[in-house]
Amino acid sequence: MLTQPVQEAINHQIKSELHSAYLYLAMSAYCESLNLRGFAHWMRMQSQEELSHALKLFDYVNDRGGRVILQAIDAPPVDFKSPLEMAQETLAHERKVTAMINALYEVALQEHDYATQVHLQWFLTEQVEEEKNASEIVERLRLIGGQSAGLLMFDRELGARNTAE
């Protein structure tokens, strides 16, 4: 059985993961509006991945005899100055998510909830990958600068993503 503090913290994280999915879906729509279908595809896959993270936590709460209580999700931004700004916001968001996962882990530590600590190890590892991927996209866009040919080539590369990694 989950303690109340752990259950509340996980429910908050479920909301955050759903917000991430919503944010990345909005970014996908933004990319579609620019006819950057590869970026749009990558962000859509990212959205699906975040939804799977939320469901992983959702199932965990239920498996531990807790109660999932869904919360309202704020509307995400819908416009960005450029693909680079969008990528920078993605990186900042992933860093924020990392801090939230760390805080959730801290609650599990304080509550001596060893099963939740083990469960959260996957999320801690996943965030290293998420930040790395976002950082690489930012750096590639910086290298490309305003070169439209480079942007189109990178767009094609991102469109090759075939699964929610």
Q: CA-CA distance, 11 to 106, in Å (whole number)?
A: 15
pTM: 0.93
Residue 165 is assigned to a structural domain of this protein: no
Domain count, the chain: 1
Provide the pLDDT for residue 162: 78
Provide the pLDDT for residue 95: 98
Q: How many CA atoms lie within 13 A of 20 on its CB side?
A: 28
Residue 164 is assigned to a structural domain of this protein: no
Provide the pLDDT for residue 62: 98
Provide the pLDDT for residue 72: 97
Q: Give, for all 165 residues of the chain, the pLDDT tens digit.
A: 899 999 999 999 999 999 999 999 999 999 999 999 999 999 999 999 999 999 999 999 999 999 999 999 999 999 999 999 999 999 999 999 999 999 999 999 999 999 999 999 999 999 999 999 999 999 999 999 988 999 999 999 999 987 655
Looking up residue 41, the CATH number of its domain turns out to be 1.20.1260.10
Q: CA-CA distance, 93 to 76, in Å (whole number)?
A: 12
Q: Note down the domain range covering 25.
A: 4-159
Provide the pLDDT for residue 161: 80
Place of tokens 């950057």: 36
| Residue 3 burial (C-beta neighbours within 10 Å; 0-12, 13-18, 19+) | middle
CA neighbor of 9 nearest in space, from 116, 123, 122: 116
